[in-house]
Chain A
Amino acid sequence: MKPNSRPPGPAVSVRTAESGNSGIFPFYLFLALMVALLVAGFTVTGCSLSDTEVEEIAQDPTKPVVLVDQTGKRWDITTAVFKYEMAVSGFEFGLGPYAIKPLIEPPLLSPGDINYPPDDTPFQILGVSINGDSRAYGKLDIVRHEVVDEVVGGVPVAVAY
């Protein structure tokens, strides 16, 4: 299922991304949303929504599990939850897909270039060498991109920090 597609059924487990960094907050938000959904869509007859009930909803493989990130984008993670046993509560931040942009085949320095650092310059790199093509990526230079989409030695690779 495409992450953006709306789930077919009415009973949907939805979790919305938190804006802060707390690991506990999103679960409360999740609970609050579930209550809101139940009140809006179903008749709640005097029963309180306990943790157990939420778990039951999240463990029913017939119902899609959808995360909503901070940009409103919907991510259908049904297979992640039911086939790969990834816990909904393990997903955090949800900054949106364009908050952290990958580098795509960035220009590189070669030996002899004016800014090519001497061998004893102290910094950490992530290095990859394929088919005689060797490349290093400064750790601090790629960390804010998380991924560099590259072609190394003719092989398309993703350098991920």
Chain B
Amino acid sequence: VYSRKIDGRVLTLSASGWTYNRLFVLFDYETESVWYDFGDGGLTCVAGEFEGRKLKERISSYESWERWKASYPVSKLYRAVNTR
């Protein structure tokens, strides 16, 4: 999970269609800057208007629903309609 606010602007991040070393390369709709996670705490803009800038990583957990709910009992949930 990454912040998507920079210089007071909110970016819409999306997959670029490219992978680099098997990891997704992201871009933003607003400036078409190219973003990549080098594993150093956020997304680095490697090409485009925000080149050299970073979108910081926010704490997130990848775990079972059961375990997450034990920590956050009133958590909201996104599930696609056709999956149950």
Contacts and interface: CB of A to CB of B under 8 A. Distances in A.
Interface of A: 1-4, 17, 67, 69-71, 75-80, 83-84, 86, 90-104, 106-111, 115-117, 119-130, 133-142, 145-149, 155-160
Contacts, number: 219
Interface string B2-45: 11110000111111111111101111000110101110000010
A125 B51 contact: no
Nearest to B59: A128
B46 A157 contact: no
Contact of B12 (A95, A102, A107, A155): A102
B14 A135 contact: no
Contact of B75 (A3, A106, A127): A127
B76 to A, nearest CB: 4
A63 to B, nearest CB: 15
